[in-house]
């Protein structure tokens, strides 16, 4: 079966760095996406990785290792507005997104 695992909840301090991990087992791989979702809102696109390595975009970076079925989202210089759920999703061989359950990130002052 297809499976995406990520921690349910994480807590971090404002100004710090946090890494949210995601492991996956899917039928085929056409890229891994990270989305941010604030409570009561739809997800917004953060990043896309299809090749191994690190993609940096401002305070957010995303890493992928296809051989290990592993990705992480790295958030630097955390701000209170970063409190949200972070969803990991893998596009499978049929170009369908397989979703993780999301990681709720709580930022404390």
Partner 1 sequence: GAVVSQHPSRVICKSGTSVKIECRSLDFQATTMFWYRQFPKQSLMLMATSNEGSKATYEQGVEKDKFLINHASLTLSTLTVTSAHPEDSSFYICSARVLAGDRYEQYFGPGTRLTVT
From CA 108, how far away is CA 24, in angstroms rounded? 29
Nearest approach in angstroms of CB 10 to partner 1 is 16
Number of chain residues interacting with partner 1 (CB under 8 A): 21
Stretch that binds partner 1, among 9-17, 18-26, 33-41, 54-62 (CB under 8 A): 33-41
From CA 66, how far away is CA 30, in angstroms rounded? 11
Q: Is 87 in the site for partner 1 (CB under 8 A)?
A: yes
Q: Is 91 in the site for partner 1 (CB under 8 A)?
A: yes
Q: Choose among 40, 46, 50: nearest CA to 92.
A: 50
Stretch that binds partner 1, among 16-24, 41-49, 52-60, 71-79 (CB under 8 A): 41-49
State which residue, 95 or 109, has the beta carbon closest to partner 1. 95
Q: What is the residue-wise DSSP string for 65-85? A: ETTTTEEEEEE-S--GGG-EE
State the Cα angle at 52 between 50 and 57, rounded to 5°: 75
Which residues lie near partner 1 (CB under 8 A)?
A: 30-31, 33, 35, 40-45, 48, 50, 87, 91, 95-97, 99-102
């Amino acid at each position: 079966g297809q499976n995406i695992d990520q921690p349910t909840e994480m807590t971090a301090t404002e100004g710090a760095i946090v890494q949210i991990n995601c492991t996956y087992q899917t039928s085929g791989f056409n890229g891994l996406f990270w989305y941010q979702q604030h409570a009561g809102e739809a997800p917004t696109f953060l990043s896309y990785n299809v090749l191994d390595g690190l993609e940096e975009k401002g305070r957010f970076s995303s890493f992928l290792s296809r051989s290990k079925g592993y990705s992480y989202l790295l958030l630097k210089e955390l701000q209170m507005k970063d409190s949200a759920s972070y969803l990991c999703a893998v596009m499978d061989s049929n170009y369908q997104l397989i979703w993780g359950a999301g990681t709720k990130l709580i930022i404390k002052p």
